[in-house]
Structure 1
């Protein structure tokens, strides 16, 4: 961490626990055949990419997904299946983020969408009494609101430019190698977080900062 003044965090798999299989199973139960051909952790179809960059609305997404599910499936059932991957925010990670705020400028950069944003903030409210992840960062950036997804260089550049960050003094943490490679391409320092390691393992000395 020597020389680091700013930290950019990924969300899913870094702060929020995910289980993609739960969404795959949920959609298969709704009649979607081979959902992984439409979406997986590493790549989505054009529909999912456009949802995550804000180029299609929630309503358009639901209309398109109705083409794949069994007749009679409701929009709410599709939303619930899509949200099934979102699990929990471990308390230790949230406490760590609060500690790090005292010593670094911290930011969130997440490939996400309006449906997931509403749900994971709801999970945070219900489990921790905190209405928004914004409380843990100088600013949170979501792909569907900025119009770019990782690993596109523009996604990282939005944060760098807006806050005039020196990439050499900025650490980016993500669990996907492709996103790490995208960050390196714009000069950011990086940590590829691989399970079973968590951010608590990276910042073990944080309690004594």
Structure 2
């Protein structure tokens, strides 16, 4: 951590527990064949990419998903299946963020969408009584509001430029290797967080 003044965190798999297979199973139960071909951590099809960059709205996404589902599937069922991947916030990770804010500038950079943003803030409020992840960060960046997503270099550049951050003083933590490699190309010190390790392991006191 020598020389680090700013930390940029990914959300899913880093702070929030997620399980994409739960969404795959939920959509397949509704009638989508082989959901994983269209959406996975490493790959997203055009529709999901457009949702995560704000090019399609929540309503458009639901409508397009219903076009490939059996008649009678409701909007609520589509949204429920899409949100099934969002699990919980381990309290120790949230406590760590609160501690780190005393020493570093903290930022969140997440590939996400309007449906998930509402859902994971709702989970946080229900579990911890905190209405928004913004409480833990100096600033939050969500791909659907930015118009770009990781691993596009514009995503990190926006965070750096808007906050006057120098890459060499910035640490980025993500559980997806292409995102880590893209950040490193910009000169940002980066850590690929691989399960079962968590952010608690990264900041564990030495000795």
Q: Which residue of 1 aligns with 2:188?
A: 188
Runs of 4+ residues over 3 Å off in structure 1: none
Alpha-carbon offset, residue 67 of structure 1: 1.3
Are 2:183 and 1:200 aligned?
A: no
1: CA distance, partners of 2:200 / 2:16: 13
Distance in 2 (CA, whole Å) between partners of 1:151 and 1:204 is: 28
In 1: Cα distance, 2:119 partner to 2:43 partner = 21
Structure 1 position 172 matched with structure 2 position 183: no
Tell me, in whole angstroms, the C-alpha distance in 2 between the residues paired with 1:203 and 1:68.
45
What is the deviation of 1:205?
2.3
Distance in 1 between residues matched to 2:36 and 2:21, nearest whole Å: 9
Which ranges of structure 1 fall in alignment gaps of 5 or more residues?
A: none
Distance in structure 2 (CA, Å) of the matches to 1:39 and 1:20: 9
Deviation string 1:95-135 (CA, Å, 9 cap, x unpaired) is 00000000000000000000000000000000000000000
Larger mean CA deviation between 31-40 and 90-99 belongs to 31-40
Give the corresponding residue for 2:38.
Answer: 38
Aligned to 2:20: 20
What's 2:129 paired with? Answer: 129
CA distance in 2, matches of 1:185, 1:19: 29
Q: Aligned with 1:92: secondary structure?
A: helix
Secondary structure of 1:180's counterpart equals helix
Q: Aligned residue for 2:110?
A: 110
Aligned to 1:62: 62
What is the SS of the residue equivalent to 1:204?
coil
Question: What CA deviation, in whole Å up to 9, does each residue of 1:151-204 have, x standing for no partner?
Answer: 000000000000110100000000000000110111100011000000000011
Any idea what SS the aligned residue of 2:171 has? Answer: strand
**Aligned-partner SS, 1:103:** coil
